[in-house]
Amino acid sequence: MTWKTDKKTRRELGARGRLKATELLRRLRIQRLEELDVEAIAFHHGLRVRYGGLSGAQGRLASRDGRGFIRVADDIWQPQRRRYVISHELGHHLLHAKDGRLSLCTDGDFLRYDAAAGDAEEEANWFAAELLMPRPLFGPRCDVKQPSLEVVRSLAETFNTTPTATAIRFVDLAPEACAVVWCEDGAIKWAIRGPEFWPWIEFGQRLGSYTHAADAFRGKVVPRGPQQVPARAWTSKQSGDLYEDTEWFRGPRATLTLLWLPGE
């Protein structure tokens, strides 16, 4: 069960979720990363965290009258992933669960930042991103000489967050026009664009033969670091070139790609 909000734009959804997290950080006087204990923050807001006993979902919130439980699937072994799930469910508790609700959040719900209609899952994700990677601490670190997945990995280690969530936050705050793309079985599963990345990336389309992500699915070694490729390899509505940095994940047979447009 999820909550539907009134239809809002991406900017409106992001603003509401981020504002709620910013208010929480200010109220608790959290100014340093080592103070970001999400289980303690959840407990402060009447929620106890439990692990296991969950099927068909990654996270669950059950709350009533301001108190309740967050349950995290026991097959989530990464501490960074657990922190994100807890933060997402806390976002539901503070943004959507005033009357007492039960939510079940699947893996796909944690990647919804840029859906056309807009819903409560997006708002909870924006809340979690701001809570774990606060703009005052994270934003200045995105102003780098050149975007890359190496920068994303370094930020993920610093903020104790997953590479995927960190990449999404990076494209939102980086000065460059960036996008992050996840591909499975040689096709685009999802893509999230930063505010300045205007070309549309079609979900479900097969990867162009000139992309390094396509090379990964063909068993070729993916070059490390940013590579210049024809923009039409990723989107038919963009001429010229763009930069691609792709990482191959052997286990799920998938790729994570950071794209950005060259500066003027």
Report the 10 Å Cβ neighbour count for 176. 20
In tens, the pLDDT along 34-68 reads 999 999 999 999 999 999 988 888 899 988 888 89
Contacts of 49 (CB under 8 A, 6+ apart): 39, 42, 43, 69, 70, 71, 72, 86
Whether 1 maps to a domain, the answer reads: no
Q: Please check the confidence at residue 246 and state whether its pLDDT lies above 50.
A: yes
In tens, the pLDDT along 118-141 reads 578 888 889 999 999 999 999 999
- Compute the Cα dihedral for 36, 149, 180, 251 and give only its sign: negative
Of the three residues 109, 132, 155, the one that is the final residue of a domain is 132
Whether 124 maps to a domain, the answer reads: yes
Across the strands, what pairs with 184?
187, 254
Return d(Cα 208, Cα 157) in angstroms, integer: 32
Same domain, 179 and 80: no
pTM for the model stands at 0.86
In tens, the pLDDT along 107-123 reads 777 777 665 445 788 88
Whether 4 maps to a domain, the answer reads: no
Same domain, 118 and 83: yes
Whether 78 maps to a domain, the answer reads: yes
Query: Domain total for the chain?
Result: 2
Q: What's the pLDDT score for residue 4?
A: 45
Q: How confident is the model at residue 14 (pLDDT cuts 50, 70, 90)?
A: confident
Q: Which residues span the domain enclosing 75?
A: 10-132
Q: What's the pLDDT score for residue 101?
A: 63
Whether 2 maps to a domain, the answer reads: no
